[in-house]
Amino acid sequence: MKQDGADKSKRRFLTGAATVVGGTGLVLTAVPFINYWLPSARTKAAGAPVEVDVSKLEPGQRVSPEWRGKPVWVLRRDERMLETLPELEDQLRDPESKVASQQPPYAQNRHRSLKPEYLVLVGICTHLGCSPLFEPEPGVYGDDWLGGFFCPCHGSKFDLAGRVYQGVPAPTNLVVPPYRFADDGTVVVGEDPQDGGAA
């Protein structure tokens, strides 16, 4: 009996100790969790708008800054590139950019941009996230290729406005991020034109 009583009190002690340890563990793990979710200065900076100097871009050239950890392309389309845009629309999945999530309202037009000349895109394939290749020359990926972006992972094709072809794995057009022109030679990625505020 004495032995049983000793065992019981030992069990009570162990149970109590486990509870305390468990409780302490909860407190110890809760604090870093809360800290983890507080946005750091670095995280805030990573979401900040990015200014892109396009003043020296020649027609046909592209720059690739990073915004929010993603590649962004700013392409200055030349006349030939712009002329291709109406030509293959019957082969595109969403030629009128009706899927609203893929661009801001001010880019819901044939050229998918504020100014026809400048195309701004997030350079990530809408299938599984590879980065497509820029191939401006016609005919490189078949007779229906007038230049655009080709994803090497599973063969998705996008035209020179980032609009996806039919019959490829990518379900939607490439994303146009929010952006505005601060002046003729400066694009600000991450801000809308209406208010100049952070998007």
Residues that bind ligand FES in the complex, under the rule CB under 6 A: 125, 127-130, 151, 153-154, 156, 169-170
- Spell out a b/e string for 140-163, using b for 16 or more CB atoms within 10 Å of the CB, else e: ebeeebbbbbbbeeeebbbbbbbb
Output 132 or 147, the one with its CB closest to ligand FES: 132
Terminal C-alpha separation, the chain? 73
Q: Give the max Cα distance, the chain.
A: 98
Cβ of residue 153: shortest distance to ligand FES, in angstroms?
4
Residue type, 20: V
Cβ 122 to ligand FES shortest distance, Å: 13
Residue ranges of the alpha helices (H) in the chain? 2-37, 41-46, 79-84
Closer by beta carbon to ligand FES, 159 or else 191:
159
- The identity of residue 166, as a single letter, is Q
Match 């309202």 to its residue by tokens: 105
Nearer to ligand FES, 31 or 133 (CB): 133
User: Please, which residue, 12 or 154, has the CB nearer to ligand FES?
Assistant: 154
Write down the least CB distance from residue 17 to ligand FES, Å.
53
Cα–Cα nearest to 179, from 169, 171, 170, 187: 187
- Of 10 and 154, the one with the shorter C-beta distance to ligand FES is 154
Cβ burial of 19 (10 Å; 0-12, 13-18, 19+) is: exposed
Query: Residue 172 CB, nearest distance to ligand FES (Å)?
Result: 12
Q: What minimum distance in Å lies between the beta carbon of 155 and ligand FES?
A: 6
